[in-house]
Structure 1
Amino acid sequence: MTEALAARTEILKGFRFAIDPTPAQLESFTRHAGAARWAFNHALGMKVAAHQQWRKWRPVLSYYYDTTLRTANGAAG
């Protein structure tokens, strides 16, 4: 049993390192981070706007679907 356990033992290793960018690389990293943040905020704004639009239409859609379901089930609508 110990041989089977030893065969299944997994050894994990980790490494720690640090980067020391040149001024040009640091500028590039900063621009990239800024562009990524802009893209995230832009996409989030689009998602929020779509959700707000959906919230406006939700009562209309709920009424339409409830009426359609009642009519389809033979109930008075």
Structure 2
Amino acid sequence: MKNQKACCIWLTGLSGAGKSTIAELLEVLLKREGRHTYILDGDNVRANLNSDLGFSIGDREENIRRMAAVAHLMVDA
């Protein structure tokens, strides 16, 4: 329907490494090509969906698991 194949590009790295900047620039380039995009930002997700999680190893693993689940649903949709 949108004439494009769904995919997820997951940027990883240390805080302040420029992931959001790269994602925003990539989004601009893809939108110029007429692609539909959505940035699923870790800070936004942590403030909402994952607001019950801290930064322990277990909580960070759960944060990644939830992010992956949401990304999978978005690609599937």
Relative to the length of structure 1, the TM-score reads 0.30
Higher normalized helix content (fraction of residues): 1
TM-score, length-normalised on structure 2? 0.30
| Higher relative contact order, structure no. (Cα contacts within 8 Å, ≥ 6 residues apart) | 2
